Amino acid sequence: MTDEKIIELFWQRDETAIGELSAKYGNYCGVVCGNILDNLQDKEECLNDTWLRAWNSIPPQSPKNLKMFLAKITRNLAIDRYKRQKSAKRGRGETELILEELEECISHKYDVEREVFSKEIGIAINEFLKTLSERDRNVFIRRYFYAESAEKIAKRYTLKATHVPVILTRTRMKLKNYLMKGELL
Amino acid sequence: MTKEALFESMSAIEDELLEKSERKAFNWKKFAVAAACVCLVTAAAVAVIPKLMGETSVPPIINIEDLPPIVPTDPGSPDTPVSPEEPLLPEYLFDAIYNDADSIISSSFLVNIPGYFTEELNESEIKSLGLVFETEWINFTGHAGFDQDGNLLEVRMSTPTRVPEVEIYVGFSEVFPTYDYVYSTEVQTSTVGNVEVSMYRWSQEDVIYLDARAVIDGVNVYFHAEATSENEAEVKKDFESIIYLYVNWFDSDGLDGIKAEYIPEYKNESLTLSEAYNDADFGLYMPKELPDGFAEESVRRYKNYQLNYLSGLWTEGYSQISWRVSYLSAEDESRFTTVEAVENYDLSLYPIPMAESVPEELREIVNDPIFNIEDLTLDVVYARSRNMEDENDVSGYRTSFDVRIGDVVIRISTKGVSPEWIYNSLKELVR
């Protein structure tokens, strides 16, 4: 079924929309949350939350790009669950590694005057990404949005596995400079 | 800023950038090679500029006389209908090469173009595209899509096949708006006459998607069908037949004659609630006050060829109020209920999952009942509310229903909001 038709079902409050959504994007969203959560039960619950969140959001929203709309919902819900896992001292894996990497991009001096809203950071990240080559941008997105492993990214873009961490390190440094220049750090 | 906050901020990455990252670089190079092949073939005859772009008229690229024979054997007279008794469609028309895709990426739809609207194609418009075959099964119907200035953007048509409940879709547009396919192998094209056709096959669960794309007579044409493992072979026969017929008989001049009869009004405005009150159609029906703490996410006035509404969304944490006002339509009639007919709306009668507890014949009305405002009571609002405990979300009432006031319908959907607020807000509108 087309995305257009699925959205129409949501607008009609037809519950078959959830079944269609799950059939079409279950695997995709499963990968998105599976990259962040390593517990199968958490992953399944995250997917169920995703369908419910979509049900509660459409209408009034009418996403132009349903797949990316779902990717963002799934990611946010997975991060929420990850935080709960972390506070309960369970779970580690890829996400912890990603956070360690991102630590290089942030300032360790906490300055309340420089604390900015995540919205501003979001805008800056998009601007920054547009300054990168398509390859470097894609590698960065697969790692820090989709939380994919370096091996998987290398396979996706036919790069050498050792090349991905090099690209990521260089891009993180560029991001740090970019954020500092914009006085966002 | 913490590393966690930075990680979360990545959710703001724009959809377009995310979607680009979905593509495998290697495969897209291959795809580009295949696309370039198509261009080279067509360029050999003439510089290809899709006619839908409204630029220079392009002579046909297909030399019909060079094509393999097809029954009837008079391809120079496409106006001659074919008798159903004649063996119109041989089983093996050309060597169809289906490229098995690893996955697909939905591409954007023209329907998201501001002011997009459609009109049904009439019989003469369909015939003007060169499709005059009268067979037992080919019977095209379809619509044309236009932008808000009435410029033709696309034509989409479909025909039944010889396989029950399976249809073949054919479209013409500036872009190929179906799917982008992702491959791990090189894409091969199929040759139909002088035209290279890229054919794709992708399966998910029990659905097999068949797609094909080609530049025919200077226009982008795409084909789409869905099959199952049981009927795939039969569907492919008809799918390939339709491709073959289009390559031979499609007449792009017919597109020039497809004009919009009427350009519908288009509005898509972001408003504040104060501005929304001034809307001539629906302003009177927006909530007068919101519960404490709720912030405005969006208030939108939307009108196109299908929809006409004023909506608002307000949130406080995970709590939300969605409020949508539109005109009553004939389609709403089946959802009206009296307060006495509790089986039509009382959620306490139907435990979750509702798909199992609500009888099929009541599903539509139980999902979205409409009450007359005069009949609405606080008890009815409670009957439409479920009080949920959810550790991952806001706890409290989830409520949804529609209310009719005169010739408008208000659709309410809330989470974490008291039934009293909903009841009072609606009654306030008619005081």
Q: pLDDT tens digit string along B361-391?
A: 998 899 899 999 999 999 999 999 998 877 6
Domain that holds residue B345: 267-428
**Residues A166 and A122 both lie in one domain:** yes
Q: Is residue A73 part of a domain?
A: yes
**Residues A104 and A172 both lie in one domain:** yes
Residues 279-338 of B with CB under 8 A from A: 298, 300, 311-313, 320, 322, 324
Q: What is the pLDDT of residue B84?
A: 37
Contacts of B322 in chain A (CB under 8 A): 59-60
Cα–Cα dist B248/B181, whole Å: 26
Of all residues in chain B, what percent carry a pLDDT higher than 70? Answer: 76
Which tokens is B340 given?
């006495």
User: Does B203 reach chain A within 8 Å, measured CB to CB?
Assistant: no
**Residues A104 and A158 both lie in one domain:** yes
Q: What is the pLDDT of residue B427?
A: 95
Average pLDDT along chain B? 78
Residues 70-109 of B with CB under 8 A from A: 105-106, 108-109
Domain that holds residue A67: 3-87
The residue to which tokens 């079944």 are assigned: A19
Residue of A15, A71, A134 lying closest to B355 (CB–CB): A15
Average confidence (pLDDT) over A2-30: 86
**Residues B227 and B338 both lie in one domain:** no
Q: What is the pLDDT of residue A18?
A: 86
Contact A125 B324 (CB under 8 A): no
Contact B26 A158 (CB under 8 A): yes
Q: Is residue A93 part of a domain?
A: no
Q: Is residue A45 part of a domain?
A: yes
Residue pairs spanning A and B at CB distance below 8 A = 141
Contact A138 B15 (CB under 8 A): no
Contacts of B205 in chain A (CB under 8 A): 23
**Residues B293 and B222 both lie in one domain:** no
**Residues A102 and A58 both lie in one domain:** no
Average confidence (pLDDT) over B272-276: 95
Average confidence (pLDDT) over A177-183: 81
What stretch of H or E contains B247? helix B232-249
Q: Is residue A13 part of a domain?
A: yes
Residue type, B68: P
Domain with residue A51: its CATH number is 1.10.1740.10
Of all residues in chain A, what percent carry a pLDDT higher than 90? Answer: 8
Q: How many domains does chain B have?
A: 2
Residue of A98, A122, A134 lying closest to B12 (CB–CB): A122
Q: Is residue A92 part of a domain?
A: no
Helix extents (H) in B46-173 = 123-128
Contacts of B44 (CB under 8 A, 6+ apart): none
Nearest to residue A7, comparing CAs of A67, A56, A50, A66? A66
Contact B7 A144 (CB under 8 A): yes
Average confidence (pLDDT) over A46-66: 85
pLDDT band at B345 (very low <50, low <70, confident <90, very high): very high
**Residues B276 and B231 both lie in one domain:** no
Q: What is the pLDDT of residue A107?
A: 61
Look at A103-107, B180-184, B278-282 and tell me which has the smallest mean pLDDT.
Answer: B180-184
Q: pLDDT tens digit string along B292-331?
A: 999 998 899 999 888 899 999 998 888 899 999 999 988 8
By CB atoms closer than 10 A (0-12, 13-18, 19+), residue B60 is middle
Residue B47 distance to chain A (closest CA, Å): 30
Residue of B21, B111, B392 lying closest to A141 (CB–CB): B21
Phi, psi of B320 (to 5 degrees): -155, 155
Q: What is the pLDDT of residue B103?
A: 66
User: Does B270 reach chain A within 8 Å, measured CB to CB?
Assistant: no
Average confidence (pLDDT) over A57-83: 86
Question: Three-state DSSP class for A76?
Answer: helix
Q: pLDDT tens digit string along A107-164?
A: 654 444 444 556 778 888 999 998 888 888 999 999 999 988 888 888 888 777 777 8
- The answer to whether residue A38 scores a pLDDT higher than 50 is yes
Residue A38 distance to chain B (closest CA, Å): 17
Contact B24 A118 (CB under 8 A): no
Q: How many domains does chain A have?
A: 2
Residue A13 distance to chain B (closest CA, Å): 7
Q: pLDDT tens digit string along B35-87?
A: 333 332 222 222 222 333 333 222 222 232 333 333 333 333 444 444 433 43
CA angle A173, A177, A180 (to 5 degrees): 140
Q: Is residue B316 part of a domain?
A: yes
Domain with residue A106: its CATH number is 1.10.10.10
Of all residues in chain B, what percent carry a pLDDT higher than 90? Answer: 35
User: Does B355 reach chain A within 8 Å, measured CB to CB?
Assistant: yes
**Residues B252 and B271 both lie in one domain:** no
Q: pLDDT tens digit string along B199-218?
A: 988 887 788 989 898 888 77
Look at A76-85, B229-238, B378-387, B403-412 and tell me which has the smallest mean pLDDT.
Answer: A76-85
User: Does B151 reach chain A within 8 Å, measured CB to CB?
Assistant: no
Q: What is the pLDDT of residue B105?
A: 55
Q: By CA distance, what is A153's nearest residue in B? A: B24
